[in-house]
Amino acid sequence: MTFWDFSAPLYDLAETVNGKAYNVMLKIIRELIPKNASVLEAAAGTGSISLAASENASHILCTDISERMLNVARRKVKKARAKNITVENRSIYDLNEPDSSFDIVIAGQVLHLIHEPEVAASELRRVAKSMVVLPMSLTKDLCGMAKVNIGVYKLFGFSPKIEFDDNSYKAFLPTIGFNDCEFVTINGKIPMMVAVWKKGTFSDATA
């Protein structure tokens, strides 16, 4: 059982520790989604971002590789009566969709966890028609209780390959092909950042 399978029942509770920043991030996501946009969320976990995006989207494909996470997402989608969300098991490395098949692609808090972020980044750009949105928690050099909270997660198996502050996240994204992103920084117990990469506005040579 992976850390994500194990933590699925408690994942949403854990997010409340940083609830103020997380809710601001969800608000930013809502505002980024144009009316009637098609959306794919990769590494969606329990589907909170998909649910936020569903208010404007025509359809959302909510994907993850953890069935336990997806089962929580399915229950939340059913409870919310969000009929425009489809939940499916897909790998961020192989989303199994045609090129440019979604107006907006979202991948939150995942690129720091995987062994080949550049491969995942290429796949995200491939299926995006106009925009890729990349929310991230900034866990590098935290202090106080925020540092303690992250330490507890690590005791239970949370194992990021890299941790970011705002400057290092901005520097990291171009190394995997997300050049010229726009950034919004969110203050909180654990700061967050939302990066937005627009396809077609910039060079797509690596897409």
Q: What is the pLDDT of residues 133-175, one digit of tens each?
A: 999 999 998 888 888 888 877 866 788 899 999 999 999 999 9
What own/partner pairs with CB < 8 Å and gap ≥ 24 does 144-149 have? 145/189, 146/18, 146/189, 146/190, 149/17, 149/18, 149/189, 149/190
| CA 39 – CA 27 distance, rounded (Å) | 16
Segment 176-186, tens digit of pLDDT: 999 999 999 99
What's the pTM? 0.92
- Is the domain spanning 3-198 CATH 1.10.1040.10? The answer is no
Domain ranges of the chain: 3-198
